[in-house]
Amino acid sequence: MKFTDGFWQLRPGVTALHAQEAYDITETTDTPDGPGLVITAPTMVIAKRGDILNRPVLTTTLSSPAEGVIRVRIAHHTGARWHGGFTLPGGGGSAASVSVSEEGGVLDAGALVARISPGAPWDLSFEVDGRRVTGSGHRAQGYIQLADRAQVDQGIVSNARQGGTAPSASVFVHEQLDLAVGEHIYGLGERFGPLVKNGQTVEIWNADGGTSSEQAYKNVPFHLSDRGYGVLVNDPGHVSYEIGSEAVERVQFSVSGEVLEYFVIAGPTPKDVLGRYTALTGRPPVVPAWSYGLWLSTSFTTDYDEQTVNSFIDEMAARELPVSVFHFDCFWMRELNWCDFEWDPRVFPDPEGMLGRLHEKDLRVCVWINPYIAQRSSLFREAADQGFLVRRADGSVWQWDLWQAGMGLVDFTNPDATAWYQAHLRRLIDQGVDCFKTDFGERIPTDVVWSDGADPERMHNLYTELYNRAVFEVLTDARGEGDAVLFARSATAGGQSMPVHWGGDSTSTFASMAETLRGGLSLALSGFAFWSHDIGGFEGTPDAAVFKRWTAFGLLGSHSRFHGSSSYRVPWAFDEEAVEVTRRFTHLKMQLMPYLYQQGLDAAATGVPLMRPMVLEFPEDPATTHLDRQYMLGSDLLVAPVFSADGVVDFYLPAGEWTSLLSGETVTGGSWRRETHGFDSLPLYVRPGTALPWGARVDSPEYDYHDGLRLRVFSGGTGTTSVTVTNPEGRTVTYDVDLEEITG
């Protein structure tokens, strides 16, 4: 949100107070993390004693919740009620040291040091390896007051918040951190615009806006800089960013209220930043090997019954197209009853028997759910009477007709409501359901009262965490750690600890395929290790070319699903070549499982995502800065999806000797390359000197990877390397490989 009118002036209706000097700096132990510094910053330079009168101050507190992480809290009135931030499982405090001298104050958190200079102008510096990576300078910390909303509504005066979609507010705190020359900013959730966020205004406010808008299902107030640091704004409510888009030399973030808290997280590499960030906010668990296989869906509004389901599954098997998970979308329940968690008896009269028969075909079963209870559902009155639905201030149940007629919203801040919801899911698991697609979680009202008294603005984004956590707990309890997996749409900071997430409602076009990839890469740079999307797009029906190109792309990711809105997405519905493309790339993914599964284990241990933007894997190469049409699948495979029917694709290969996994051709990198590919191919290159573990089966993602394992050694390396392979049963073997023995 913009407050200024150019460099000198403020926008109409805006009053601003800024930290002008570090008037005094004191040590303290009264922080959430132990030792810290407290800085009092008057909003004018104190030149004489009388200047302290009628003069507001901003109080900044520095502390360290973990090694390499510094917490910054800016408060106007320190006694104001603060709603609290995110749950931080890795924030137990660090062994930071503090000191104050005539030269100012220093907080040393190991890999990151904060240094506050005394006096004017205000200058708070953050240093990695002795180098200033960013800082808060003159007029960076601000307390903002907007004109009275009633005057705005009457047209008497305008203010900076007018016309926005997030809740209105009258006071804000903002911070501005320096942008260096040539610095680039990434992250902020699953955003479908340009990967580099410089020049953008970004609103952290979960919304069901599809993939072709500035809105996002997964808003994460965390940005990563290629200068060697990251920043998490510790606020689950609306956070407004101006990334070099208001003050072009700075990243500004603002929140409503009297307090702003953020964390600066050290690098020096992007992987180091993500490692520390996910250690603080939560690492993803290990996801089961079966979840890496192909998920086949009924699609959304199609007609289907058990016979339809079996026809799909049997035809896939007859065509040697391995399916791991069958997904039942909304209409497994009766229309207008979502959610009552009851199979529609008109089309599924024997759900237990049907699920058992699907299991006999070595399939897992996923069913669609959401956190809404339609008023026609048999559960609506029960939930309303017991206080399990969110209410308005007058005590009535909050309802609306968007999505489901008269639907209410489960109040997951009420432990009894959570237990009630979970009991229905446990009943489905007892029937034979293996996992859940947790749809929605973004359309959360703010004109309501929550059971635990939570701030409605903050609950808008945070609701998805409570919703997905409730479901994930059920799966973990029932299936055990390492075998629980969601298919979730909404998220915020910390959501990476409940995988997997998918990209939401794309259209069935090449342009939407490209924006979907941008969203996944942006989410990866926001700490999410696992990600999927609707192969072929969701809205509309793709033509055969789009479907085939998207199939190759979709099967070269961590998780892969055929799903759509109003049409079936079985490959023979498009043409016979689509069947061949699906067979080629499903088989390829099964053979890559020893590699992919190990990369997933590494992601759970380190927080580094399985699907990686090029800048994450090659931060030292400036050519990778803006690349958003290609990615690394794990550490060693480069994928450049084809976004056209004619098969022409431009992509960049970093320096070294790369080998096409599909053709065996060896190419020297360090430059751009143009290739033309048929539908059964795409640029898929192996990193120089890679020893790639290669599985022996093409029919399932879940097998003993050591049985028949090959290590394919590719050119471009010297000496020896070690390759670790872990099978789904947990048996780990490390192989020492001579890179001079090139087999390809």
Question: CA–CA separation, 444 vs 472, rounded Å?
Answer: 20
Helix or strand holding residue 150 (H, E): helix 149-153
**Nearest CA to 66 among 332, 275, 291?**
275
**Nearest CA to 218 among 625, 402, 493, 439?**
493
> Which contacts of 663-667 are long-range, i.e. CB under 8 A and separated by 24 or more positions?
664/744, 666/715
Cα atoms in the Cβ-side hemisphere of radius 13 Å centred on 508 = 22
Phi, psi of 273 (to 5 degrees): -60, -50
Phi, psi of 374 (to 5 degrees): -65, 150
- b/e code 198-237 from CB counts within 10 Å (16+ = b): eebebbbbbbbbbbbeebbbbbbbbbbbbbbbbbbbbbbb
Contact 243, 233 (CB under 8 A): no
Q: How are beta strands 435-438 and 364-369 bridged, if at all?
A: parallel
Question: CA–CA separation, 272 vs 228, rounded Å?
Answer: 9
Residues forming a β-bridge with 74: 60, 260
Tokens matching residue 726: 């872990």
CB count in 10 Å sphere of residue 18: 19
Active site amino acids? 439, 442, 505
**Amino acid letter, 702:** E
Classified as helix, coil or strand, 410 is: strand
Q: What is the DSSP string of 549-575?
A: HHHHHHTSSS-EEE--SSS---GGGT-
Phi, psi of 612 (to 5 degrees): -120, 130
- b/e code 452-478 from CB counts within 10 Å (16+ = b): eebbbbbbbbbbbbbbbbbbbebbbeb
Question: CA–CA separation, 387 vs 449, rounded Å?
Answer: 12
Angle between helix axes 351-360 and 415-431 (nearest 10 degrees) is: 60
Contact 611, 639 (CB under 8 A): no
Phi, psi of 219 (to 5 degrees): -100, 125
* Residue partners of 559: CB distance under 8 A and separation at least 6: 291, 292, 295, 487, 500, 502, 530, 531, 532
